Structure 1
């Protein structure tokens, strides 16, 4: 029998990886700003259409804008925290899934131990 197992992917922070993460965060922030501007524009357009409940339209657009503004704040906070992380520190980048064979007699304790793939500047340096 096979089961799916989640494996953490950790990244060793280097100056290069810090710069890469910073650029990704900045791109996300720019994209969120563009989306907010587009939503505001679409809201204005919808306000002038006949037969539409302007209150509901405004409320729905505002919810979407607020969601993006909250995400913007979260990413900005992460960007600030990135500056505080020392070089050489390991941070969690994400998760991947792996198929694992399980059969009668398999040691379950070994199966449930946390496993991780450690990456430094795009190269796997360790599998734990």
Structure 2
């Protein structure tokens, strides 16, 4: 019988990867700043067509909420950049999970050993199996 299980993917931080991550974060920040500019422009445009004070407040609240969301993402991005700068080279960073097919048969050990795929500069360098058993079998 075949089952699908989750496998952790980890990337090794190299100088090349650090530069790529920093560039990606910078691009995201630029995109978010453009979105903020666009939202401010749309806000001004909509305010010109509003006839009541109450409606003006509602529109401002809605747009400022969206602008604040993007500002928070920019701040988060700044924090991530500072963390990436501080990480030592060759640190393994978890970057998510992938699904893997595995053949299981009666008599196999359960739970199955966890696996990790380690990637450096776009190439798989290791596939590890880790055993994570509980002593009492309780969840």
Shared fold per TM-score greater than 0.5: yes
What is the TM-score of this pair, normalised by structure 1?
Answer: 0.86
2:95 alignment partner in structure 1: 93
Matches within 5 A, 1:1-128: 3-50=3-50, 53-101=55-103, 105-110=107-112, 113-128=113-128
More displaced, 19-28 or 51-60? Answer: 51-60
For residue 115 of structure 1, report the CA deviation from its aligned partner: 2.3
TM-score if structure 2 supplies the norm length?
0.80
Greater CA deviation, 66-75 or 92-101? Answer: 92-101
Change in 2 beyond 3 A, CA 1:90/1:51: same
SS, match of residue 10 in structure 2: strand
Question: Deviations along 1:13-37, whole A, 9 cap, x unmatched?
Answer: 1111111111111111111111111
Distance between the aligned counterparts of 2:39 and 2:80, measured in 1? Answer: 25
Q: Which has the higher contact order (CA 8 A, sep 6+)?
A: 1
Answer with 1 or 2: which has the greater Rg.
2
User: For the residues of structure 1 that align with 2:86 and 2:5, how far apart are their CA atoms?
Assistant: 32
> Per the alignment, do residues 99 and 47 of structure 1 end up closer, same or farther by CA in structure 2, a change over 3 Å counting?
farther
Equivalences, count: 126
Gaps in structure 1 of 5+ consecutive residues: none
| Higher fraction of helix | 1
SS in 2 for 1:109: coil
Report the secondary structure of 1:77's partner residue: helix
Unaligned runs of 5+ in 2: 129-139
Task: State the secondary structure of the residue aligned to 1:76.
Answer: helix
